[in-house]
Amino acid sequence: MRPTVHPQPSRAPARAVPALSKASPALAFFASAALALTLTGCVAPHAHGGASAAQPAPVMPAIEQGPAPDAGFIQRAVPGAGGAVLQTLQRAERTAPLRYRVIVIPGSGCAGMGPIADRYFGGLLHAQVLVLHKPGVDPGARTAPADCPHSFVSLDRHSTWLAHARAALRADALLLQGQPALPQLLVGISEGAELLPALAPEVPHLAGLVLIGASGLDPQDAGALQARRVGAEGDWAALGQLVAGAPHDSVVVQGRSLGYWRDLWNWPLTLPLLQGPWPLLQVWGSDDALVPAVAYTRFAELAALRTAPYCARRIDGADHGLQRAAAGMDGVQQVWAWTEQWVRQPAAGLCAPLLGARGSAPPAQ
């Protein structure tokens, strides 16, 4: 769904900024850059029974034995930073044998992945799946991005989320000690991809990073390109003035705290992705309403010079969540089909399933 954007005139920085409970229309595209998925009517392959993801299972201690194969997702609490608790969704492999693990960092907003998890990750047949959620996010919540409570908005920022996710992954790595080593993929969905380079050192046996609906550019650069695309450059510039100004981090502007925007304005992503030693697989939709195509192509030009493997695939007609509604196609399942193909011959490399006859990764049709 393409958001309706009504550009507003540029504003001078104010001494006091009123706290807004919701994003204004001018930058609603950015505040809505969450887990923007439309899976209605999409059926994951080889669907099995199990607990409904819309009804989270009781929270269980993270130290207990993991989910049984083909048991569906369960909700579990894991430690974050400073004594905080994060809620996760965990699932064992759907089909024997177990070949790899997938760790997922979801997109922005305060909705959980529980209601769509069974379908969304259905194509991961031979993988254990671990989905992290930000503090305060119920995996079963369906809250729209503009309706996130103030308690969430006031604490939501990249640096805080990174600290909690890092603590959770360190705890996860400790639990894996003594178990057979498995290759692991770190998957970032939209905003979640912005944490991947910083989290990569916490994942043992990391086989690669997967970016879904994420340009790879520094978020401030991608946001500026999107603002230009939708005619909201004045609002973006005004926001930048506030970011550089005196208002406290707790002040809410455009549906986010200034602390969130300040982190975003200074968050490095492109250089860490370009310099990282891990294989990088990136998939995006040509009809992405939240990230402009120029952002994806600009990063691809830079990433072509990576020393580590890089491959990108554009899915024509697909939206930000890789859904191509007109054709009834769920592009996320295509991503999992590629990872399943890779893990059967891991020596060929993560990008091998996407390589064309000339050694490139042509756009999907």
Q: 272: burial class by Cβ within 10 Å (0-12, 13-18, 19+)?
A: middle
Please report the pLDDT score of residue 65 as a whole number.
46
Q: For residue 206, what are its two tokens?
A: 């990391």
pTM for this predicted structure: 0.84
Please report the pLDDT score of residue 180 as a whole number.
92
Beta bridge partners of 4: none
The ranges of the chain with pLDDT < 70 are: 1-70, 356-365
Please report the pLDDT score of residue 328 as a whole number.
84
DSSP string of 109-125, one letter each residue: SS--SHHHHHHHTTT--
> 254 and 232 in contact (C-beta within 8 Å)?
no
Alpha helix stretches (DSSP H) within 154-210: 158-176, 196-199
- Give strand ranges (E) for 165-250: 184-189, 206-212
Distance CA 105, CA 33 (A): 14
- Count CB atoms within 10 A of the CB of residue 325: 17
Of 226, 216, 191, 1, the closest CA to residue 108 belongs to 191
Count of alpha carbons within 13 angstroms of residue 83, beta-carbon side: 0
Please report the pLDDT score of residue 310 as a whole number.
97
DSSP code for 285: E
> 148 and 252 in contact (C-beta within 8 Å)?
no
Tens digit of each residue's pLDDT (9 = 90 or more) over 210-241:
999 999 999 999 999 999 999 999 999 999 99
Q: Is 199 helix (H, G, I), strand (E, B) or coil?
A: helix
User: Which residue is it, tokens 């103030």?
Assistant: 150
Q: Give me the torsion for CA of 330, 270, 293, 121, rounded to 10°.
A: 0
Distance CA 123, CA 243 (A): 41
Q: For residue 7, what are its two tokens?
A: 């550009």
Tens digit of each residue's pLDDT (9 = 90 or more) over 302-346:
999 999 999 999 999 999 999 998 888 999 999 999 999 999 999
Count of alpha carbons within 13 angstroms of residue 190, beta-carbon side: 24
Please report the pLDDT score of residue 326 as a whole number.
81
